[in-house]
Each structure stands twice: as C-alpha cells, then as structure tokens.
Structure 1
C-alpha cells in the first residue's frame, strides 16, 4: 500500500492526523500495557495505514480486532484516540486501522466523556487500609452513572459524598459486560435549585486493563453511532 496519493479527509487533517505523523501506540498484552512506535502512511475515507509498529527495535504485528490507544503531538498539543486494527496490507509492511470516531486533546479534556443513564449493580465506600475493605453499599440504591469515560465516571445520587472518598463500583455496559473498579471522588456538585441529587466526579484508581478496554470499545461504538446520527 503506497502513500503517494492519499484520499483526502479534511476532518482528520484539521486534527493533524496526516501521513508522516509519528504515533505512540499502547496495546494490552496479558496483564500489562505494551508501548509501540509507528508512523502514519496514508489516511483514507474509513481507514488509515501505519508502518508496522516497532517495540525495542523489533517489528510487532497486531492481530485484527486489537484495541489500540494512540497518541501524537499536533501544534504543541497532545492528541489521542482509540481505535482497532482492521487488517494488514498485502505486502505485510503496514497495519490498517479504522479511523477513530473522535480525537481528544489534553487541553480540551483528558478523555472522551459519554452521557449515560447506567445503574450500578453495587456501589460502596471503601474503608482505607491494606485491603481497602468494602463498607456500606445499601445507601447508594438511588445512584446513576450519568457520565462515563476511560478515566472515570460522574455519579448522581442523593447520598452525600466528599472529595477524596474512595469507592468501589460494579456496573454492566450493554453489549460489553461487567466492569469492576475502584474510584476516588475528585469533586462534588451540590444539588441545583429544585433538584435533590448531588453529582460526584470520580476518577478510576484501580481498574483491570481488560475492563478499561471494555469501556474503550463501548465508548468507541457509541461515538460511531452518534456520529451516524449527526449527534457529534
């Protein structure tokens, strides 16, 4: 696959995702994250070609369907996106990635956030200690996840929460599966006038790589659906 006459894609060109841009990739391998280096060779209407990624000066072929977290620099901003491997070029020199539904920048937000209305199966305070012992969970029966990203979630609940509190949470993403994580409350918005629920903004502090990838796949799928409907 050559890169001499790439298909024009103004949306991604405006974000700096063009042939020649170096990419830093992260993929989950077992229980650890592997960091790879590559370069964009071609950007088409639906996919892009990258050079076969390298790790410790060795080429690393990625299996079709592998979830990829990518990062690059554009105009002194760190840009990142999540996508998956769509296939390989006939000559074996390139990996083919699906174009991402969106590209985020650090200055705009740390992760793409999706509005949701998910009810956790379990939410409980953690008593800080060597094993973070679960505390009371029955008081959170009214809780709803109203905002979700790879990095954390926003909870809506009548129960008072405080900055710095540690929580355990279990919830299910439709079509993806169960997520089990621990979180820390970053800030709490008191109820607006006429409202009863507080909003607690939380960051994941302990989450399995497989669960992080499940969230990323869910967000990517929802972004694609929203883009098809003209909502993004």
Structure 2
C-alpha cells in the first residue's frame, strides 16, 4: 500500500475512534446549558459537526433545539458549521429554527453568529427558509428573512416561489408583504401555474383581486392551456377575471 493510501486510511480510522465519555459529557453540557463546560470541551478533539451514535442531532442542533443561544454562538466560535445540513432533509439549523418558529434562534443565527447562517441555502426540496416561514404563516419571520436578503423569487423543486406558497396557504397578508417587497408576480411553476391560477383554483376572491391589482395576468395560460378562470368554480371569480384586459 502506498504512503498516500496508508495516510488516508489512518485518517479515516482515526475519525471513527472517539472518547464516548467525552461525547456524553459535552452532550450533557449542551443539553443542560452549561456554558463553561461547553466552552472547555468544544475546543477538544471531538468533531463538532458529527452526529454521534445514539444521537438524533449534532451538538449545534441540540443547542438550538434547547434554545441555548449563548451555546449556539459558542459552538460556532469553536468551529461548528452554522450551515451544516441534516443528511436526510438537507435542512440547516436556520431552516429548522424557522420551521419550529423559534424567532430568537433565527435572529441569533442571522445577526449574532460569525459566520451567520446562510439565508439562501436550500434543503433537498430546494426550499429556502423563506418558503418555510411563508408556509408556517409567520409574517414576522418572513419580514426578518426578507431583511436578511432572502431570495424572494427562489423556486423549489416543483417551481413554486414563496408567493406560490402564500397563495396555496391562502394567506393574503403574507402575499401582500411579498408583493410589496418586489416579488415577481407572474412566475409560473413547473405546471405553468401562476399564483393567479392557484388563487382561482381555491375560489379565493380576495387573493384573486389582490393579485390582479398587483398586475398579474388574467390571460396567462398554464401547461394545460387553461386560463386562471378555467380553474374557478365561483362564478363571481370567473366573471371578474373575464373582465380583465390582456397585459402586453
């Protein structure tokens, strides 16, 4: 075996060997919020981003779950990756915090950590934290993420933008926030559906009117060659959309 191969094998084997007692000691310190002990142990030989046997998360995620914000900051200072992604979902701690609606943790990750959490790092479904905040119906988190320069028109794996999410959730208030923040109103998803198609499908006259007033095209066709009004069963919506002029 060559020297380079031998060195690689030794590094790989050494990464598999660790002090179980040290893992448990650091885990207990993180779990209980013992800042002093975390500060001491996190600068040892343990791999901070590793999910050790019997644990559901790594140390940083456990600190976030427990809302120990000082320990979150300390672990990141010690070298933990703020943008470490959960293997099965691709979620970062920021995404997790948004989904759990932990506003303080979100602000800590974005404003108080060096480096900060990446607001535009997608998960395995190509969702951003902004998609998750919209889906949760949390307007405060939506505003925080937009102020942190979240990509407002980012498409998920199905081509849906945060505005598509707001319409699917029938959340007129968040849709208004996104529109007033400059999102593109006529982006089509992978089915060719604009947000106006989705609002018409849901027979939501309030959203339909909001989108039309924002400049959405009532004459846009989806991939099935249907106009938004073709999806509505509420005659008032059909009549309203039929009255709209074509947008050049």
Q: TM-score under structure 2 normalisation?
A: 0.22
Between the two structures, name the one with larger relative contact order (CA 8 Å, sep ≥ 6).
Answer: 1
Which structure has more helix as a fraction of its residues?
2
Which structure has more strand as a fraction of its residues?
1
* Structure whose CA Rg is larger: 2
Q: TM-score under structure 1 normalisation?
A: 0.23
